[in-house]
């Protein structure tokens, strides 16, 4: 009697699993929204002497810099830009806001 109950339950669970197919992929951005941010780093405190400008779309990137003293963030669309004291996006950090941010840093982490 126990064997038939177990066999019936196994058959039932097997048919449920077969009826629900697994998704072929897990969408990274299910709504199709494209997040992006553009930031510029400067060698002075007043965001005048451009060192580099970078735009990041839907991702995460850590970029090391040398001899920089300020950063400006533009076109922030769902991304976070933070500066870090270490060149590998480690150590102390500061979350930059739109406009000019005067801060000493060794790397920038963008997360979208």
Domain ranges of the chain: 36-111
pLDDT of residue 60: 93
Sign, CA torsion 13/15/16/22: positive
21 by DSSP, 3-state: which? coil
pLDDT of residue 76: 67
Grouped pLDDT means (10 residues each) for the chain, 112 residues: 50 44 40 81 97 93 97 86 97 95 97 92
Q: How far apart are CA 52 and CA 110, in angstroms?
A: 15
Reported pTM: 0.70
Task: Name the strand (E) or helix (H) holding 82.
Answer: strand 80-84
pLDDT of residue 16: 42
pLDDT of residue 10: 47
- 36-111 classified as CATH 3.40.1710.10: no
Q: How far apart are CA 66 and CA 90, in angstroms?
A: 15
């Amino acid at each position: 009697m126990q064997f038939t109950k177990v066999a019936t339950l196994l058959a039932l669970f097997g048919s449920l699993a077969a009826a629900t197919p697994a998704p072929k992929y897990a969408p990274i951005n299910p709504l199709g929204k494209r997040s992006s941010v553009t930031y510029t780093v400067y060698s002075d405190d007043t965001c005048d002497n451009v060192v580099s400008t970078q735009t990041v779309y839907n991702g995460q990137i850590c970029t090391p810099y040398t001899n920089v003293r300020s950063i400006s963030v533009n076109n922030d669309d769902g991304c976070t830009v933070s500066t870090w004291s270490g060149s590998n996006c480690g150590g102390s950090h500061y979350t930059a806001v739109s406009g000019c941010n005067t801060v000493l840093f060794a790397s920038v982490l963008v997360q979208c």
